[in-house]
Each structure stands twice: as C-alpha cells, then as structure tokens.
Amino acid sequence: MFASVSQSVKARIATTDTKPVRFVNSEVAYTPTIKDTITTLRSYLNLDKILHPQSPDIPVISLQASMIEQESRDCVYRLGHSTVLLKLDQKLIITDPVLSERASPLDWAGPKRYHPLPIKMDCLPQVDICLISHDHYDHLDKETIKRIHTKVAQFLVPLNVAQHLLEWGVPSNKIREYQWWQTEQIGTIKLVFTPTQHFSGRSYQQRDTSLWGSWVIQSEHRSVYFSGDSGYFSGFKDIGNQYGPFDLTLMETGAYDENWASIHMFPEQSVQAHLDVQGKVMLPIHNCTFDLSYHVWNEPLIRAEKAAAQNHVPFICPKMGEKVLFETLADGMEHDSGWWNEED
C-alpha cells in the first residue's frame, strides 16, 4: 500500500522509552526563543486586538448538501481558512476541516471565526476522503472531527496524528497515516503526502511528535496541490518536478510574521511556491476566517494578487461557499474577484 519512505523524513529518537520521537524539517530547524513563543501566544489569543478590533464583512454564499451532491462536474468550494471541499471524479474530498466557532483548545477564548459557515457542520454531505496536513488547532479541530467523522469514509493523516482521532471516537479502520512521499490510491484518486517546512504539536510536550506536510491530489483529469502550512523552501520545486503541473494550487497565504518567516510564507513567497510546484491557477487559503497574526485581514490577498499579476499567475479567490468549476479554470474564464478590497 505504501511507497518507499523518503530519507528526508528525519526524526530524533530518544535513548529512553520516556521521550517521544520528534520530527525535524529537511532544511531549517524551527527553534523559537521564549520571546518568539510569547509573541505567538499574544497573537493567537488576540490580546493585542482588543484595542484594535477588526470586524470585516466577509461575503458568504450558503450551501446545502443537496447542491454539492447533485453537482456532477469537478469543482471546488472554499469553506474558510484551510478548509476546502473538492469534488473530483464524483468523490468528495475535504481538507483540514475546522468548522467550529474558534480555532482554539478553548471554547471561550482564542481566534474567533470572522464569518458564518457556508454550510453547517451537521449538514455536510457524505465525504469520501478527509485530508489532514498537521495537528495544529486551526487545521485539526476536535469538535469538528467528533461531529463529522460518521460522514467521512476515510481519514488520511500525517504520521502520529491518528492518536488524536482515535481519542475522539474515529474507528481505526477509517484512519491511515503517512510519511513524506508515501502514496495512496482510492478509486481513480491518487494522493501523495509531500513535505513542508513547518512544525507540529497541540501542547509544548507534544512539540514535533507528529509529522506535518502537504498533499498532492490527482484524479483522472485534474491535479491539485494542497499546501498545508509551510515556510518557503526548496521542497516546492521537488514536488513540482515529481508531480507537477497542477491545475490548481490551494496555497497558504496568510498569518505571517517576521518571527515566523521560516514556517509561514509571506504572500510573495506563496506566489513563488505556486510557480515552484508548477501550478497553473492559484487559490490562496489560510486567510479571512481566523485572526492569527498582526497584519490586517485582507493584506494577504492584496499582496498576493499584486505578486500574482507581476508574475503572470492566474489568481482566483472565490467567496466563501462559492463554487468554482475546473472546466472554467481550463477555459481561462474570469471569476468574481476583488471582494476583499471592499473594506480597508
């Protein structure tokens, strides 16, 4: 079932049984200082935003399960942050489902959703494949998994992430774990778990004890790259050389800061990563849903759109819940854009 494991997956294995395996990046080791940790915590809990509140009016198009089920064409719906629904070869794929009100271990504090969900959690249609990129709270949500797992046929997750899903009631026969470069074939859909430059952990003790990465998604006629979270690194070119070109990239574009430059890309780097993986059309994700950094909510889209234009990259940013057909991407048809410029 598995391809050979790349040697670029590295782990520090303790000499005693009391310490866990810890994974490291192939290029840059992320070792934040105490100051970096405090800065990240302040931003994540929105302590600085109390004095400078942001209340953007994010446009949302409501969805119903029947609308998604009855659509026979290959398409994509963005639900918010890094949560995307892909319909390919009549299979429904969801990425990093976070459908709770907050991206946080607490239900009363932490980043709160800017906009309502295009579709309520309990109204999701049956999902064939759920892809997880890593275990951070804004990508792996306990409440969401507990409420939707009965509708999901298969969870594909990084190495050592299955333990969370098992604790939340997901049956073991529905979970498969992967290391970098391992592949899976589900019907006509080929999936490859590919490297990123990031880190993992839902607590300090769990730091880097599970793997992180991105996903290559190839159907009979389409090819999609889902970036997960990553700093800019040479691995994007490796992915492009092995699996490109991609009809569409779902590329992390948001929640960046100088303190996190090695693990989160600036918008201009996101466009370059799109070029590196040999993407055709870029759809920026990881923005406009949760306030996870100091920049203004629409800055990532403004900067990415400008960089895309300078590099002649077709750039689309559908409204939350808006359907984008792959056949319109191939035809070069323009999509509604610019809604993020309506509020400064």
CA-nearest of 338, 83, 67, 31 to 226 is 83
pLDDT of residue 293: 85
Query: Which pLDDT does position 105 carry in this prediction?
Result: 74
pLDDT at 4: 33
Residue 164: predicted pLDDT: 97
- Over the stretch 22-77, which tens digit does the pLDDT of each residue have? 899 999 877 666 565 555 556 555 544 544 456 788 999 999 999 999 999 999 99
- Return the structure tokens found at 83: 């949560």
pLDDT value at position 206? Answer: 82
Q: What is the pLDDT of residues 236-257, one digit of tens each?
A: 999 999 999 999 999 999 999 8
Residue 307 is predicted with a pLDDT of: 97
CA nearest 8: which of 260, 252, 269, 233?
A: 233
Q: Under a CB-based contact definition with an 8 Å cutoff, are residues 258 and 282 in contact? A: no
Sorted by where each starts, the structural domains of the chain and their CATH numbers stand as 10-332 (3.60.15.10)
Predicted pLDDT at 111: 80
Question: Quick one: pLDDT at residue 14?
Answer: 37
Which residues of the chain are modeled with pLDDT < 50? 1-17, 47-48, 50-52, 344
CB 91 within 8 A of CB 186: yes
CA 301 to each of CA 112, 121, 297, 338: distance values in angstroms, whole numbers, following the listed order = 20, 27, 9, 9
Q: Specify the DSSP class assigned to residue 304.
A: H
What the block records as the tokens of 79 is 């639900």
Contact 138, 100 (CB under 8 A): no
Q: Which two tokens stand for residue 5?
A: 């494991």
Q: What is the pLDDT of residue 5?
A: 36
Beta bridge partners of 223: 218
